[in-house]
Chains A and B, each alone.
Chain A
Amino acid sequence: MKGWSCILSRLSGGRGRRLAELADEVAGHWPHLPALEAQIRETAREVESSVVQVCGAFEGMATRSRDSVAAANQLLGAGQGSGIETVLEASRHSLQQLREQIGRGHQISSQLIDRMKTLEKSAGVIVKALGEIDRIAFGSKLVALNAKVEAAHFGDQGGAFGVVADEIAAHARQSEEITEAVVGEMQQLRATVAATSGELEEMARMSVGTLEATRGELENALGELTRTHGEMEAGLTSAIQGGEQLADDISRSIMALQFQDRVAQRLGHVADELADMRKTVHLPLEYLKLETPVLGAERSKTVGERLAARYTMQSERVAQGGQKPASLPETDGVELF
């Protein structure tokens, strides 16, 4: 016997039959309402839990992205003249100083060589002058000889003249000896000056050559470093833009995910209303069931079977059975057959 036919005896006519059917229908669905309400609340909880996890992960990504952008900005110097750009600038400054020192060294070497050449030239002039003195001394010796010959012609009267001639000859010989000694010294000086001048020239050539080669290598290295730095800077700038874009995208995603709050509120309102409806319907239904215990029993079974057929998750079936729904399964729920 159907549940509604039991109470039909208390109602009459078609209207009574429809009311009885309605009561049976309500009584049939009634036992399933708590499970449906629990399903709604559990769904809201799962949505919230998932969104919180997603937002947390997104927040982490956004933070890491911002950290990367800040680190890249610091590496670039961010317009504060720090980082690699500072090192490059210091290197350029050092190179410029080296260039100036090479120029100064070259200038000093040239001056020294010029002075040594002037010294050599002066020594030459002195030697030449000494030759002239030597020639004059030789002339004096000839004059003294001639005077001696003439003094001999005059006999005793030329004696004093002969003494003067001897004195002149002695002075000429002394002058010759001094000149010879000074010429020797001057020639030695000229040789020393010439050798020193040559050595200075050789040293200047070697120093300038070595410094120029070093400067060239430094300039090449600096050029390569500047080029590499330029490429790194471009790469970092691109990475910074990408990172900033990523952080913005993630922030927008986090905002979009806040739909969960609206969903949770709506589901909560529906679940609350279902609970209120149950409270409202509870008393008259209980009254009817007191008089007709089988009211809705058959219909409830049908509704239960329909729900069971519709469910696709074990947690739904558990909730229908009045148990607390199981939490989300772990992600390693893999079974190979």
Chain B
Amino acid sequence: MTTISLTDLYTLIPESFLTLAICFILLFDQFLKPAQRNVTHYLSIATLAVTAWLVTRHYGDATAFGGMFVHDGIADALKLFVLLTTALVFVYARSYLADRGLYVGEYYVLCLFAVLGMMFLVSAGSLVIVYLGLELLALSSYALVALNRDSPLSSEGAMKYFVLGALASGMLLYGMSMVYGATGTLDLNKIHAASVAATQPTLLLFGVVFIVVGIAFKFGAAPFHMWLPDVYQGAPTAVTVFIGSAPKLAAFGMAYRLLESGLGGAGPHWQQMLAALAVASLAIGNIAAIMQSNLKRMLAYSTISHVGFLFLGLVNGAPSGYAAAMFYAISYALMAAVAFGMILLLSRAGFEAEEIEDFKGLNQRAPWYAFLMSLTMFSLAGVPPLFGFFGKLLVLKAAVDSGHVWLAIVGAVFAIVGIYYYLRVVKVMYFDDADDATPLAAPSDAPMRWVISVNALALLVLGLTWGPLYAWCARSFGIS
């Protein structure tokens, strides 16, 4: 057994800081009057900023606690984007929460705990840490979905999320136990060595199946996607924007750690499974999204299809494929933040801008936001020169590189299907006349206005200058 040394703790400085800060916010918030909630808000954002800064300092070693905690470029990049996305979410959520009497410290504390879980998840070097990080994320998310406890829809969503999530965790845990039985270790590196060396891998492969199912549940990949539309629709939009964005990055991190760092030797097996999941997700996500009239629900189905695309990168099973998938996850998180953020922006006290119809004639009422929203929709649809296109380009390339040309063609076909429902939003905003053509009052929340504008324009700017970001992803996976 290894002993814990000071350098181990030193490696964990960002996580330790975040933990202490959350505890402080949790306590401090109790002494604030509701009118002073802004203090919690800004304190939370500051916490994220400081944590991000600490992450960039690269304290400590490559691993800590005897390999249980991995500290590499992949983890750092994912952590930074998780922190960034969460900060965006906080900015977008504030006025929505305030309008609905949900502006409480719990929202911030739960989100931050989820962030902590994600940071551990993407740094996991052992099955135990994977599970702990995942559960911290999941339990915080269940509670967040139920934040608006007076809403039956919200409670229903939370219940579904909890039951199915618990089932998924059970599957994952069961798979882990088999992997442990087959390899005799919880350490991902050793599992990797054992999976490469395995000559009779039956038990291990059984474990792989359950682990893949668990991952698919957490991603919301079809056919394990049932919870996702209900949760997205049922949760208060301020929560949807959170669970719709940052956790996708963490899920990618988890998939990478478990499948590549751990079960890399079984690659040909899980790649087949992921290919099947990708096709199912692309088909179900895109086709079901066409029929939705609720924007949140449509975006939920679109998430499923995006997970399908992300899997195309994972199927590749080589560093360039993982880099493509990570790039895709980052691009998706940024796009989802704007798309849900726009719903937050347009909803006001007593009015949820959830239906696609609510966006009717937005170009007449608020041309700037209509423009930003259409940028986002075109980006989600994967039309160049927007950011989303290049994510698709990279994952399609990853699929072709690994000889799965047919998979790339399936992806391409469903991208065409997907075009339709994104265009419908643009159509509603630009081609339909508003029922009430009075100009929309500019949202009073100035930081939100600015941040969402920058966020949406970034989709255009990053589309033209995505090279450095991709180079960063590639570098994390050791491609120069």
Asked if A pairs with B, the answer is no
Interface, chain B (partner A; CB < 8 A): none
Interface, chain A (partner B; CB < 8 A): none
